[in-house]
Structure 1
């Protein structure tokens, strides 16, 4: 096992990243509205250098405060992120998001490929799609 990995470190995964004008506010929103879990936040005051929010059903996201162009080696504009998050409980999650003030941009629906889900926008303008579709099996 690599020295920076423990028994509780998840297997390698894809972790999308985003930037925010109000990173601490976005973290609070993502925890309250969508149920992400705040795993670690590094930074002083309102500035977030790095944050990891874990998704209870696996994976997660990383985010930080927007930076000045000359300081930014990862120049992402706030509000331009879009992601799909797998959940086994889309109805409960949609109700939670709505109650927390998330803008629901696509109501709960069932797709022709067997997924149930909804879409929402966070306060920074990022788009989130939540659904039961886990993807097709990989061909080996």
Structure 2
């Protein structure tokens, strides 16, 4: 019997820009992300990588006019977590604007929960226990 292949490390990274990337870092750390890498100075962030402790992460930096640059506030992200209610509580404490209260959507199963918020730059985030459907062959 062969061992099942492990899930590969993330190779797709959601990326966005921030008008105030230092404030964005502080906000994301307050709700549970870890600041793994931050390159820049006190005024500009060339690149930031914030990892989600349960897997994956995001990359972002100051607004610029090249590369992946898009207007701030246009991103929509879904983050899988085993405890969306704890993330919700941290988000509320960090001053997040909750746009959808914690709920149990049909697709998340009987014990699944998720909620949505808007970050200080206007990006839409949902945090939930629904991990998506299993990969084919896995």
**TM-score with structure 2 setting the length:** 0.88
Q: How far 1:39 sits from its partner (Å)?
A: 0.5
Matched, 1:58 2:46: no
In structure 1, runs of 5+ residues without a counterpart are 1-9
Q: How far 1:95 sits from its partner (Å)?
A: 0.9
In structure 2, runs of 5+ residues without a counterpart are 1-7
**TM-align CA RMSD:** 1.2
Q: Is the 8 A contact 2:15 2:68 kept in 1?
A: no
Q: Is the 8 A contact 2:17 2:71 kept in 1?
A: yes
**TM-score with structure 1 setting the length:** 0.86
- In the alignment, which residue of structure 2 is the partner of 1:6? none
Number of matched pairs: 127
Q: How far 1:58 sits from its partner (Å)?
A: 0.4
Counterpart Cα distance in 2 of 1:92 and 1:45: 31
